[in-house]
Amino acid sequence: MRIPTLGIALLTCLAAASASAQDLRPESLKQYGGTFSPACGDPSAPRVRIAADGLEIAHGARKLRTRVTMDSYTSFGAAPTSPVPEGYRVEFIGDDFSLYVFEDAKGQFVPLQDYVPAAAPVVGAQAMKARFGRCP
Residue 52 in any domain: the answer is yes
pLDDT (tens digit, 9 = 90+) per residue, 57-109? Answer: 999 999 999 999 999 998 887 777 778 899 999 999 999 999 999 999 999 99
Q: State yes or no: pLDDT of 10 exceeds 80.
A: no
Q: Which amino acid is at 6?
A: L
Residue 38 in any domain: the answer is yes
Residue 44 in any domain: the answer is yes
122 near 103, Cβ under 8 Å?
no
Residue 9 in any domain: the answer is no
- Look at residue 22 in the predicted model and tell me its pLDDT: 59
- Look at residue 75 in the predicted model and tell me its pLDDT: 84
- Look at residue 20 in the predicted model and tell me its pLDDT: 39
Residue 96 in any domain: the answer is yes
Residue 18 in any domain: the answer is no
- Mean pLDDT (the chain) is 88
Residue 55 in any domain: the answer is yes
Residue 15 in any domain: the answer is no
Range of the domain at 102: 23-134
68 near 93, Cβ under 8 Å?
yes
The number of domains in the chain is 1
